[in-house]
Structure 1
Amino acid sequence: MGKIDPRVIKTRSKLKKAFLTLLSTHKLTEMNVKDLTQTADVTRGTFYLHYKDKETFIKIMMEELINEYFDTVIFNVALDDDKEELQPVLSLVHTFEYVGERPDFFTVLLKENDALVYQTAFSNQLFAYIQQHQAKNSDLSESKVPKELLMSFLTYGLLGYIDSWLVNGKIYANHFMATNLQKMLDSALIKEAGLESFFVTDATEVENVVR
C-alpha cells in the first residue's frame, strides 16, 4: 500500500476533530457539511474530495471511533506463559481513559436513536472478542448463556455505567470507576459465560500482556 499524502491525513484529522466537536451540540441527523467544513476550516470542495456525502462521512467516523476504542482497550494476554497462545482481555481503566477523551461520542452511542446501528456494531465487536476469549477455554464450550441476554447485559450495562459517569461530571477517577465496575461484573451471568478473566481493571498490570 502506498504512503498516504500528509495533506490527506491532516485534512481527515481536522474533519474528525470537527465531528467530535459538533457531537456536543448536534445530533447525527442535524450535522451538515457546512457545519463540518466551517468547524474544520476546510472548503466544501475539499470535503467532497475525501467523502461522497455527509452520511458516508458520519458512518466512517462512527465506525472508526468504535474500532479506535477497541484498539485502545483490548490487550492480548499469554496463556500459561505461552507467548503463542493468546487471549484478549478488556481493560476497564483504558476504557475510562478513552471515554474521558471522547465523552460526546459515547453519549451519542448510548442515547441517539440514529446511533442504534452503531450500538449493534459495538455489541458485535465486543461479542467477537468475547468469543475469542471463550475459545481459549475449552471447558466453557457448553455455556448455557444465550448470546442476546449476555450482550444486552454487557453492552447496556457498560454504556449505562459510562453514561452515569459522564452525566455526573466524571467526578470519580478512572481507576475507581474501573475497580467498581469489575466488582459489579462479578455476577452469575459472567461466571456462567466464563468471562471472569475477560474484564480486568488495568491490563498493564496483568502478567504476560502482549501488545
Structure 2
Amino acid sequence: MHTKSRTNDRPVAIDRRVARTRALLKQALVELIPERGFAAITVEEICARANVGRSTFYTHYEDKEALRQATMEDHLQKIGRARGSQHEGDQAFAFSLPMFEHALEFGPLHRALIADRRDAIHDQLRDKVRKAVRCELAGRTPDGIPDQIAVEFLTGAFLALLGWWVESGYPLQPVELDDHFQKLATAGLPLTGSEQATSQAHA
C-alpha cells in the first residue's frame, strides 16, 4: 500500500515542478518587458532571469512567443473568472472592476503592458477589453451610434484610465476607480434597455 501511494503521488510532484518552472519563466518575461521590450528580449535572457536552462525552456515552450501567449492567457483567464463570479446586473460594464483589481494585484504585468504599448502583449489586452465591451453593449447602444464606434470609444477610454492609474501608483482603490469609470462611461454613452435604469442608479 505504501509503495502504491508513493507511485500515485509522483505525477502530482511532477506536475508541481512543471507548474513552478512555467511560473518562473512567465514571471521572468513580465519583469523583462518593461526593461527591454518584448521584441528585444531573448530566450537566453528569460532563462537567466528565471534561473532555468535553455533545454528546460524548450521542453515547455517552442519559443518566446509561445511563452508570451501562455502568460497572457493565464492572466486573462484570471480576469474572466473574476468577472464571471460577479453579478453583471449590479453595474453597467461588468468587465471593468475585475480588470482594475487584476491590475492592482499584478502590478508588474500591467506596468509591462504600459511600457510597451506597441507590442503584441498590449494588443492582447486591448482585444480582450474590446471583446468584453462588444459583448456587454450588444443591442444596448443608443440609436444612431454604430456599435463599432461605441466599442472603440469605451475600449480607448478604459485603457487610458487604466494606464493613468497604474502609472500614478494606484491613487484610488479599484472599486473607487470603477465607480468613476461607470459614471463617466454611462454618461458618455447612455445605454438603452433595462440596464439603463441600473446604470443611472449608480450615477
Q: Compute the TM-score of the two structures, normalised by the length of structure 1.
A: 0.70
Greater relative CO (CA pairs within 8 A, separation 6+): 1
For the structure 1 residues 66 and 142, does the alpha-carbon distance in structure 2 shift closer, same or farther, using more than 3 Å as the test? same
What is the aligned-residue identity percentage? 22
Aligned to 2:148: 148
Deviation for aligned residue 1:52:
0.6
Aligned to 1:121: 127
Which amino acid is 1:45 matched to? S
In structure 2, C-alpha distance between the alignment counterparts of 1:15 and 1:22, rounded to whole Å: 11
Q: What is the correspondence of 1:1-211 to structure 2 with a 5 Å cutoff?
A: 5-75=15-85, 77=87, 90=94, 92-109=96-113, 111-115=116-120, 117-127=123-133, 129-130=135-136, 134=138, 140=140, 144-192=144-192, 196=196
In structure 1, C-alpha distance between the alignment counterparts of 2:162 and 2:47, rounded to whole Å: 30
Alignment check: 8 A CA contact 1:127 1:151 kept: yes
For structure 1, list consecutive stretches of 5 or more residues without a partner in the other structure. Answer: 80-87, 202-211
In structure 1, C-alpha distance between the alignment counterparts of 2:55 and 2:184, rounded to whole Å: 50
Deviates more, 1:89-98 or 1:14-23: 89-98
- Structure 1 or 2: larger strand share? 1
Whose radius of gyration is greater, 1 or 2?
2
Which amino acid is 1:130 matched to? E
SS where residue 171 of structure 2 aligns?
coil
Deviation for aligned residue 1:7:
1.5
Aligned to 1:209: none
Offset from partner CA, 1:59-103 (integer Å, 9 cap, x none): 222233233323223435388xxxxxxxx9626443322101223
SS where residue 187 of structure 1 aligns?
helix
Q: Compute the TM-score of the two structures, normalised by the length of structure 2.
A: 0.73
For the structure 1 residues 159 and 104, does the alpha-carbon distance in structure 2 shift closer, same or farther, using more than 3 Å as the test? farther
- Structure 1 or 2: larger helix share? 2
Alignment check: 8 A CA contact 1:93 1:178 kept: yes
**How many residues of Structure 1 are paired with residues of Structure 2 in the alignment?**
186
Offset from partner CA, 1:131-168 (integer Å, 9 cap, x none): 6xx47xxxx59965423212211211111001111221
